[in-house]
Structure 1
Amino acid sequence: ELKDQHTHVKQRVAALEDQSATVMYTKHANSSQICSTELLHFLKWFCIRDGAMAKWLHENVPQNEPRMVKEVVKNCSPLLADRMPDFALESQGASVVSTRCSETYRTRSACVSFLGVPLWYPSENPRTVIQGQAVQAGKCWAFYGAQGTLVIALSHPAHITHVTLEHLPVSNAPTGRIDSAPKAFSVYVKDGTWLGTFTYDQHGGAIQTFQLAIYYFVELRVLSNWGHLEYTCVYRFRVHGHMASSSK
């Protein structure tokens, strides 16, 4: 069976090479565009069926390939954050302990009304950050200004190795900007020990993981955002590591 799978993968690689060799390009405004969408469809199908081939694709797709092809190849690789346990996940037992003095900002992006009369404007609370929901525009905890704090009780005591901060992708933002995204942020533990200060890159991927030793609580302190004057949004925050021995 393994031999058959190996043969199947080799056949798919050969097919990919054939597809790549026949792709045609047109030049317009100094940018390359693919004349045929066949390769894109093939790449997407191939990534879904054979995720293990992501490494091969990364090594064999030239740097000058069109952006669309490179984006598909990039998305083949399972995200580091999705390959590690998340100790800041509410469904697993984590909880929000405090937001210190950070006040929830009501964006009024949604409205509950009756017969056309606005009744109230629902807003997301801090728990949204640890609920692990699919990211949708506006489905985040927004707080006033550019600085805010969130204290999370972990689901299990853990040796923390990484943290992940997630925001809406630029491509999904209605305005084409994510200036409400956190910029600089620090991570602390319950006794005030500083684990590190990091920068969320607004031009990077939507999900960014930072490498950072048994802790029960972590505190996220957002120090600045990417320019929004009224509020900052945190869509999701994850804490990764290894569960500590119960004897410690």
Structure 2
Amino acid sequence: MIEDALETYSADRIGERDYALYSSGGRIIPSFTSPTFGLRKRSSSPLAWFSKAPLLERVGAEGQPPVIALVPDVTPGMCWAFAGSEGTLGISLARRVLVSKITMEHTSPSISHDQSISAPRDVTVWGIGEEDSILPAPIPPSDRHLLLSTFTYDVLASKMIQQFPISREAEQLNIPIAIVQMQIHSNHGKKDYTCLYRVRVHGNEWTLEDELQSQN
């Protein structure tokens, strides 16, 4: 039992394949994603004045690109931030998948220096079946969006890795998903920005055999 537990922990701590993982082929879709918060021009710096080039000032620990939400690093500051409490993140999955659940993770409050209030709270997850739907980027909800899940991330829970199943209605439709768009509606109290540390998408890969069966 101990060996099994250690094997699960080494397999990204939950032992489930993540189709959003960057190193496995998951990618950010910029046109589906809110602008990154955290970098701003600083024109008042004496160094900037002498060099005739404005510097970029990092605001707090933020300023990471959105792809940081697809990598297994949740140390404090390794998050993607967007302004305010509402934003979207578009993910092109590594494979077309019959999505079964979404995993969200925030850094532990015990080491994050009171950054837990920046964590997402109320979230809606949409799926799109075909990659050619990227252009033009649709705004959810549209006729191309399938509602996968609506959930609340609890930053006060005992575990920071929290899993949320897709709805029974979405599961019964049995539609393979190529793109996931997360729509974050609120956070836990931070007014300036929201930090998203990690998102994972799980399910069963849509195979050629599945495709042939669906056409019959």
User: TM-score by structure 1 length?
Assistant: 0.62
Contact residue 97 and residue 205 of structure 2 kept, 8 A: yes
Report the 3-state secondary structure (helix = DSSP H, G, I; strand = E; otherwise coil) of the residue aligned with 1:129: helix
Matches within 5 A, 1:207-246: 207-212=161-166, 213=174, 214-246=176-208
Q: Distance in 1 between matches of 2:73 and 2:12?
A: 17
Q: Distance in 2 between matches of 1:152 and 1:96?
A: 5
| Residue 77 to residue 94, structure 1, CA distance change in 2 (3 Å) | closer
Contact residue 99 and residue 149 of structure 1 kept, 8 A: no
| Residue 239 to residue 224, structure 1, CA distance change in 2 (3 Å) | same
Match of 1:126 among 45, 53, 66: 66
Q: Structure 1: which amino acid aligns with 2:57?
A: Y
**Of the two structures, which has the highest relative contact order with CA contacts closer than 8 Å and spacing of 6 or more?**
2
Q: Distance in 1 between matches of 2:100 and 2:13?
A: 11
Contact residue 81 and residue 164 of structure 1 kept, 8 A: no
Contact residue 64 and residue 79 of structure 2 kept, 8 A: yes
Q: Work out whether 1:187 is the aligned partner of 2:125.
A: yes
2:92 alignment partner in structure 1 = 153
Q: Structure 2: which amino acid aligns with 1:206?
A: M
Please give the per-residue CA displacement for 1:37-67, whole angstroms capped at 9, x wherever unaligned.
xxxxxxxxxxxxx245x7xxxxxxxxxxxxx
2:132 alignment partner in structure 1 = none
Q: CA deviation at 1:99?
A: 5.2
Q: Structure 2: which amino acid aligns with 1:178?
A: S
Contact residue 182 and residue 233 of structure 1 kept, 8 A: yes
Contact residue 165 and residue 238 of structure 1 kept, 8 A: yes
Report the 3-state secondary structure (helix = DSSP H, G, I; strand = E; otherwise coil) of the residue aligned with 2:67: helix
| Residue 100 to residue 155, structure 1, CA distance change in 2 (3 Å) | closer
1:178 alignment partner in structure 2 = 116
- Calculate the aligned-residue CA RMSD, in Å: 3.0
Matches within 5 A, 1:1-12: none
Q: CA deviation at 1:81?
A: 6.4
Q: CA deviation at 1:164?
A: 0.6
1:88 alignment partner in structure 2 = 20
Q: Structure 2: which amino acid aligns with 1:209?
A: Q
Contact residue 93 and residue 155 of structure 1 kept, 8 A: yes
More helix by share: 1
Report the 3-state secondary structure (helix = DSSP H, G, I; strand = E; otherwise coil) of the residue aligned with 2:189: coil
Unaligned runs of 5+ residues in structure 2 are: 129-143, 167-173, 212-216
Q: Work out whether 1:206 is the aligned partner of 2:160.
A: yes
Tell me which structure has the larger Cα radius of gyration. 1
Q: Structure 2: which amino acid aligns with 1:141?
A: W
**How high is the sequence identity, in percent, across the aligned residues?**
33
Residue-pair matches, total = 173
Please give the per-residue CA displacement for 1:14-38, whole angstroms capped at 9, x wherever unaligned.
xxxxxxxxxxxxxxxxxxxxxxxxx
1:105 alignment partner in structure 2 = 37
Contact residue 99 and residue 201 of structure 2 kept, 8 A: yes
Contact residue 94 and residue 155 of structure 1 kept, 8 A: yes
Q: Structure 2: which amino acid aligns with 1:236?
A: R
Unaligned runs of 5+ residues in structure 1 are: 1-8, 10-49, 55-74
Q: CA deviation at 1:97?
A: 1.1
